[in-house]
Structure 1
Amino acid sequence: MQRGYSWLLIWLVMLLPKIVMGQNLIPNGSFETYRNCPQQDNLLVEATPWYNPNRATPDFYHTCFNSGQMALPPRTGQGLARLFFDQGWGEYLGVRLTKPLVANECYYYEMYIATDTPNKYQTETIGATFSVQPIIAPASTEMFKVGPQVLDRLSSIPRLAWQRIAGFVNAKGGEEYVTIGSFFKTPPFLGFNYVFIDDISLLHVKLDLGKDTTLCGRKSTRLLDATVPNASYYYWNDGSSKPTLLVTKPGKYSVTVVTACKTLTDSIKVDYALDFDLGADTTLCNGQTLALNVPVNTAATYRWQDGSLQNNYTVKQAGEYSIQVTQANCTASDTIQVKYIRPPQLELGPDKALCGAELVTIKPIIAEGTFAWQDQFADVARTVNSSGVYRASVQNACATVLDSVEISYGACDCILYTPTSFTPNDDGQNDTFLAFGCGDITITSLSVFNRWGEVIFQTDKAPFQWNGYYHGELCEIGVYGWSIQYQLKQERQVTPGQKQGVLSLIR
């Protein structure tokens, strides 16, 4: 490495016009452009507008010429810089920002470094400092005695692997130069090392969703971008948490962005010049009509699918209907599909008055829809043995129809039937005393008495039947008395009842 330099070049570089490259305030931050292709060491001056702040000799390498000094490829692109550090020898990079920093504003700085001697690299020494005037020492190679705003906080660094150094800069105002190099630490004796540098950037941490705007129609969209360098949190007024939000309808949109430097908020109002909607695709019943309307606008022209030019349209048959509205240079359109179907049909039959233990099966007549009992009974047909009103529906996209049928056992006395004798001989025929009646009767208890009035059997739980035994022994042949308590439910009335009688136990 040559240790000589023409300092007149420094001032020539600083007099070059400012270079603007997107939002990055560091010109030529990736060392891609050059004045002349560098074909040897010590040629940082070729990477305009970078300059050498002191008498040391920083390097600039580019793939336009293979000097053999690039120990690893550039992180991006084709160029990179290299600094050398030793006892009494500190190299730096200097450049003028594309514009001065604004007081009390926040900026995000980032660069990438690598080394081929990680055992000699000293952490917490490589960084960047920002100043109003350039920091220069034309006659010295010593380390600058300044404090950097951004400093390497790496705990270690692997060999020839790009590592990011980043941080926030709170501007005092007017800072227009950045100096990059080693601060605070000098390599120990025989501890010299090289550091490669690439992809340097300085971004203004600000949030700007843009000015309030008007889009054409509901099919127009706008992508709101709230991306802020190194933000930790995004929150839009609709609850989403991504850096971007796609606007698909008019309204006011706001976002809050949190960084380690500051919290930012911004909002934007989005209107639609032609804000109309024909509605969702729909299904009508035969004979129905549908009125389609868009807002009246005297400055607009209208054209429906059949060429009609009014702002409304009456649908009378199935098909696709569309309108195109034009106002100035804005054209918006919408389409709706309309289908027609027959209305659903349901017939449960006439009300029925039943007697005693009669049963009836309700068989619904169904057409053009999906059937359901309102009490969630699973099958379509159902057999009924008690009074009640049974309701059902049939539904399709056109409509829902309801029907009901009333079953009543009040047309005659609801009878409780009991046998007069039974034969508990285990032959499978008439082995138990069992009472039954119409579906409106609910038995609540059964008691059996011997000839002296002693209760020999009693239960208040179903099944209400007696097998002829008492204390595990078959009772004697003879006559026994019984008593049954029950409830009769008819026409929404519940009436308690009791019936008594005798039966013969025979064999």
Structure 2
Amino acid sequence: MMITTFRLLSLVAFLLSFASPGLHAQNMVNNPSFESYTSCPSGFSTMGPPTNTFTVNNWYLASPGSSDYFNTCGTGQTAVPTNFFGKQMPRTGNGYIGGYWVFTDSFASREYMQTQLSTPMVAGQQYYISFYVSLAETNKAQVGSNALATYQIGAHFANASTNQFVNQLPLVPQVTNATGNYITDTVGWVKIDGMYTAVGGESWLIIGNFAPFLSQNYITYATTNVPNLGGYGYYYMDDVCVFNMSGAGNITVHDTSICDQNTSATLYGQPGMDSYLWSNGQTTQGSTISATGTYWVRSIGNCEAYVDTFHVNALGQLQPPKLGNDTAVCFGKSITLNAQNSAYTSYQWNTGATTSSITAGTTGMYTVTVGSDCGMFADSIYLTVKPEVPMTPALDTTLCTGAGYSIILPLSGPQFKWHLDPADAGTTQQPPIDASRAGSYTYYLTRTVDGCQSNPSTVQVNVLNTPKINLPEDTALCLHQQVTLGAAMDGVSYLWNTGSTECCINITESGLYHIKAFNYCGVAEDETAVQFSDCENCIWTANAFTPNGDGLNDKFTIQNLCPLRTYQIRIFNRFGQLVFSTTDINRHWDGTYNGQPCD
């Protein structure tokens, strides 16, 4: 057996991680990374209330606080990277905005930023929002206060813009940073994101700290070592993203097979994303699975969203074809080579066949190459056809009656089998042969060599009659009578001295008749005399005899000239005594009674 794998994809991710078309979700935020402006910033108060653009386009204040715009083209207090509040490079591009989001003073006004979305939200549909923040370093020598950090940062969606003259906006954010996740990073950018199901009609986005003053939570990030000195927290913000997650265009479905031969495999979401969420709860790019089924992953990053659905089948089930070990068959036999597997899509044998199985009956190598969703596999098997086993020699046998019962023919051994029918299983014991009577018997004999059986030889056993002849004693008949001599025996030939070759002849003339019966079993001969006479005067006797012992006419005889069925003679003396009696015509009276001459 030889198994060859032409191509085996160990993970479906090889097919999928980089195969999706890179679906861009449409960002509903105008000027999301603050690259569009009317003039470069040169100081504070660079943003105005709704519809009033001071420097940065599409972004406005929502409260009396004066949020700020920073750009690499700016100077002084709002320059990039070094400005009044510290040093920070934009996450992307050249600009970002910032504001005070936490104070220890309840009378201080928090700062909020708002923008109008490109299209109103649709009721019941789900939207994704994300933005990045970084805590300003805060130059304490300039400001003279402690630096604070908070986690209470969120986003509120509204049907209209707001411009309330309050220190804290009385709004409830629909998306918030995780509780306790204090944002203290002054070097990098921290992502805040979440999902929002629209009520309908929301067209404005407001970002800031919406916690009531008495409910706000903060920690001191840096201190001036001045007792009882208050503090604040100033945050930069960049790369704001809002898009509709409910559109079908954001979903890619992959109907595929996991071709990993192990019991588990790893699926992958889109590379380079900021966050991942799998249907099984995992949040990494790769998700290890151990069962077939349907899985999905939502990959989000850089205001792009991908939803990949994997219909997984054949996990750990697909195997290369297995034709088995090299094998041998007997001459005239064949085997079925089967590569059937429901996961295979095509079959190609080196014989030219394209079916899942073939019948093989000649010596040689047989190779099948199968195709599947996981690639191409091949397996081979070498088949040897053993030489034909010679048939047993002819054992036709002729036996003669009288040889007995259960005659054993001169062929035996475990390699030979006797059969009463060519199709039966056969036995190593020769069937009994009854030679007590004539008949014909047919048997079949096979020979087994190296596990292979020869074609059956026909064994014909003929039991012949041993010739026997038993003609009657010499016979006398009347002229008008006839007699049949001989008896038939199957398988015996005959020859009479008359020239006849029949078993039996009808005799009508006096003479000596000789017969010879012969066959393979021998020769038998016999003869008899037949005398025909005139039976009108067939019995006579002399009227006197002289029992004096001189050898002349000493006995009383009956002369018979014709055949008799029965014969009896009784002789009485003059006193009525029975002196002689016989049924044998050849027995004669000598004239005595009880050994004494009769008077």
TM-score surpassing 0.5? no
Give the TM-score normalised by the residue count of structure 2.
0.37
Structure showing greater relative contact order (alpha-carbon pairs closer than 8 Å, 6 or more residues apart): 2
What TM-score does the superposition give when structure 1 sets the normalisation length? 0.42
Structure with bigger gyration radius: 2
